[in-house]
Amino acid sequence: MTRLFAGTPFDIPPTCDLCGKQETDCLCTDQQKADAEAARQREADRLPPEQQTARIRLDRRKGGRTVTLVEGLTSRANDLPALLGQLQSACGSGGTVKKADDLIELQGDHIERVRQKLSEIGYRLKK
């Protein structure tokens, strides 16, 4: 008997967090358990939009192209690709996420639309 209360009415065998079965009957792989733990950690690191401040600015690229940049939102606290999708649909333009810089780029001058969409979502804005 390795458990403290084994053989008593208080004995509760350990269960798998992923499937809910007893650990002796669990068929989950170590990779599935690691992926589930990583997903739980990502969700724990997320911050609500009300606690974050976004900075929006324009940048000129070579050839006279203009891009709208959204800064100040970290990839650890946000799902930046999902946020990019919302901004792209609101602006009707293309864009990308620069994960190394925690930066969202949208093609064109869309400061007002981005400002409106981020405030609808609940982010604080800074000029």
pLDDT of residue 111: 95
Q: Is the pTM of this model over 0.75?
A: no
Q: What is the DSSP letter of 22?
A: B
Distance from C-alpha of 57 to C-alpha of 17, rounded to nearest angstrom: 44
- % of the chain residues with pLDDT over 70: 97
- % of the chain residues with pLDDT over 90: 50
Q: What Rg do the C-alpha atoms of the chain give, in angstroms? A: 23
What would the pLDDT profile of 3-17 be if each residue is shown by its tens digit? 677 777 777 788 888
Bridging pattern class, strands 103-107 and 124-126: unpaired
Per-range mean pLDDT, top range of 15-19, 25-29, 49-53, 111-115: 111-115
What's the CA angle centered on 50, arms 49 and 55, to 5 degrees?
A: 70
* 68 touches 53 (CB < 8 A): no
Distance from C-alpha of 17 to C-alpha of 10, rounded to nearest angstrom: 20
Distance from C-alpha of 10 to C-alpha of 109, rounded to nearest angstrom: 65
* 3-state SS assignment for residue 66: strand
70 exposed, middle or buried (CB, 10 Å; 0-12, 13-18, 19+)?
buried
Residue 1 reports pLDDT greater than 60: no
